């Protein structure tokens, strides 16, 4: 997702998020020393007031939830009616929060709504509403995985709770609220359309929900959002073609680009040549995750597909010729520090090549990937880059400028945002 954060000393940061699927998620990556347990910390980290209205403590949030449950179930005579009433009550007080995660990268943004851990009482009611049978302990366990495959499985499970257009409207609006809190002005958000189609969901209805959330967020919060439709590699080239055809169909509804994510080991870029050629012919911009869980050959592969931005690029350093190619062509690389650590793609923060890439002249942006799943934020990613790799404030401003320049905005909008960035820098 492309995001611009401004204000305060740090100025504005632009981030593109990479992720795959619409599920509550955030942007970022980080080491264990920086991360907090997503299942025990309040949503958005700055207190539960955002989620529960006036509630500023866990106890207050639980009291509000209990009152809502009591009111919500009065008069309900059937299970169906109970679910409907309770779901309405939840929307009214926001007691069920899907924290939307954004992966911030210079080239694209993916929305991954991941359901934040809630109280045991809420879990019991959500089971009735959404048809899940997940206990609180099981929900917490989903946030603990050992490797990239474990992350993918957790992501798959968590997204099962997104079922209706209203669910998607809610997570988009929550995402934009979070972006507003970080002074983000623009976001290019990945939607895992491939997962929606795999679940046989009506994506036209889902897009209606997404657009309602986007329109509300733009009106209330002043943030602009563009969509990137993301296909799942391991579902195959035929499934990717379906996703890209939907992107072409809905270009007039703020869909700007397409991409592929998922398991690089199971589906190399070459399989998607025809799908990417189709998307390019339709005027869509091209992105791809590559070099996250596979070697530099995966990055070469997506470059051959015409990818204009690359998610992660973690293994590019293994091929000096590739580094030269990326530097010469100034291909934007979406860096997700915390994500790479949590998925095990990078063993420890000191091993991450971000500073090496910067010094070698690659065009980098900082991103969050799936913020809720990785317990991070765009601000945290910038702080991590500065504390662990010695990036100065001026370096961070350069990374922020890169995000704007690598965005899929029209030139006049890029200039507008870059001018805002420079103005904030001058005041700092």
- CA distance linking residue 284 with residue 398, whole number of Å: 27
- Exposure class string for 85-103: b at 16+ Cβ within 10 A, else e: bbbebbeebbbbbbbbbbb
Distance CA(264)–CA(267), nearest Å, equals 5
Task: Kindly write down the DSSP assignment for every residue of 386-408, as one continuous string.
Answer: HHHH---HHHHHHHHHHHHHTS-
Distance CA 305, CA 294 (A): 17
Tokens, residue 370: 């799936």
Torsion region of 169: left, alpha or beta (phi above 0 gives left; psi -120 to 50 gives alpha): alpha
Of 177, 188, 292, 388, which residue is the catalytic one?
Answer: 292
Q: What is the dihedral of CA 309, 312, 314, 320, to 10 degrees?
A: 10
Q: Is 62 a catalytic residue?
A: no
Nearest to 417 by CA among 2, 110, 28, 1: 2
- Segment (H or E) for 261: strand 255-261
Return d(Cα 316, Cα 292) in angstroms, integer. Answer: 9
Q: Beta partners for 261?
A: 232
Cross-strand partners of 190: 228
Q: Label residue 183 left, alpha or beta by phi (over 0 means left) and psi (-120 to 50 means alpha).
A: left
Residues in the chain, overall count: 428
Q: How far apart are CA 308 and CA 276, in angstroms?
A: 12
Half-sphere exposure of 270 (CA within 13 A, CB side): 3
Q: Which active-site residues does the annotation give?
A: 292
């Amino acid at each position: 997702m492309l995001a611009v954060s401004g204000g305060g000393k740090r100025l504005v940061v632009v981030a593109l998020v990479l992720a795959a699927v619409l599920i509550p998620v955030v942007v970022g990556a980080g080491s264990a020393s920086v991360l907090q347990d997503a299942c025990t910390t309040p949503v958005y980290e700055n207190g539960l007031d955002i989620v529960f209205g006036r509630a500023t403590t866990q106890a207050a949030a639980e009291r509000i939830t209990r009152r809502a449950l009591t009111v919500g179930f009065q008069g309900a005579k059937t299970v169906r009616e109970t679910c409907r009433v309770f779901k309405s009550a939840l929307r009214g007080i926001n007691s069920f929060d899907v924290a939307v995660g954004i992966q911030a990268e210079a080239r694209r943004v993916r929305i991954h709504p991941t359901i934040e851990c809630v109280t045991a009482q809420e879990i019991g009611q959500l089971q009735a509403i959404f048809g899940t049978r997940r206990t609180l302990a099981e929900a917490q366990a989903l946030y603990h995985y050992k490797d990239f495959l474990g992350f993918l499985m957790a992501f798959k499970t968590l997204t099962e709770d997104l079922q209706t257009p209203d669910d998607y409207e809610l997570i988009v609006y929550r995402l934009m609220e979070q972006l507003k809190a970080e002074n983000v002005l623009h976001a290019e958000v990945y939607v895992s359309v491939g997962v929606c189609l795999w679940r046989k969901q009506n994506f036209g209805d889902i897009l209606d929900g997404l657009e309602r959330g986007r329109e509300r967020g733009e009106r209330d919060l002043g943030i602009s959002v563009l969509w990137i439709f993301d296909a799942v590699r391991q579902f195959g080239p035929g499934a990717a073609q379906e996703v890209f055809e939907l992107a072409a169909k809905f270009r007039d509804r703020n869909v700007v680009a397409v991409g592929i994510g998922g398991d690089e080991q199971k589906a190399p870029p070459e399989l998607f040549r025809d799908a990417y050629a189709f998307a390019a012919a339709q005027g869509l911009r091209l992105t791809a995750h590559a070099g996250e869980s596979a070697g530099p050959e995966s990055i070469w592969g997506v470059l051959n597909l015409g990818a204009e931005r690359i998610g992660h690029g973690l293994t590019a350093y293994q091929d000096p010729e590739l580094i030269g190619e990326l530097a010469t062509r100034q291909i934007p690389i979406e860096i997700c520090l915390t994500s790479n650590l949590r998925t095990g793609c990078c063993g420890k923060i000191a091993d991450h090549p971000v500073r090496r890439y910067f010094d070698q002249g690659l065009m980098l942006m900082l991103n969050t990937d799936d913020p809720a799943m990785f317990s991070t934020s765009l601000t945290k990613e910038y702080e991590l880059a500065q504390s662990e790799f010695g990036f100065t404030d001026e370096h961070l401003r350069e990374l922020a400028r890169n995000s704007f320049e690598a965005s899929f905005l029209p030139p006049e909008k890029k200039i507008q945002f870059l001018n805002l960035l420079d103005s904030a820098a001058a005041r700092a």
